[in-house]
Amino acid sequence: MPNYKQNFMRYMDSQGIKYTDNNEYSVRVAYTGENLKTIAFYVYLDKEGKNLVQLRCWEVANFKGKEAKGIIICNDMNAKYRWAKFYLDKDADILVECDAYISEDCGPVCLNLVRRLVNITDEAFPNFAKALWS
């Protein structure tokens, strides 16, 4: 059975990408954006060894007390971006996610997904800020 996490980390090492080995099934990859200082995605590789990966970021914005605005802006962002799913969790945090199937040589695909989601999150952030402060 392929070890997708090891393959992903090996690829990031070969590319000089810094990451944090979070636990047995996840890796944290963080970038600095133009609009959002830190954009950290957690890459979760399937615990059962299936060729599935979930990318998740929840350090985007908090709509506590403004949940209706948060839901509306998430809906707007979901209509605009097809690679990312935005939603409000039970703590009123904006979460960004993406699920994908991967192959044994998952490094390039996972890293490209992280980069794409970082760019989408950074581009979407001003919309969240505007909704929070309007």
Domains in the chain and their CATH numbers?
Answer: 4-133 (3.30.1460.70)
**SS3 for 30?**
strand
Q: What's the rounded Cα separation, in Å, for the pair 128 and 133? A: 9
pTM of structure: 0.93
Which carries the bigger pLDDT value, residue 1 or residue 93? 93
Summarize pLDDT for 99-127 with one digit per residue, the tens: 999 988 999 999 999 999 999 999 999 99
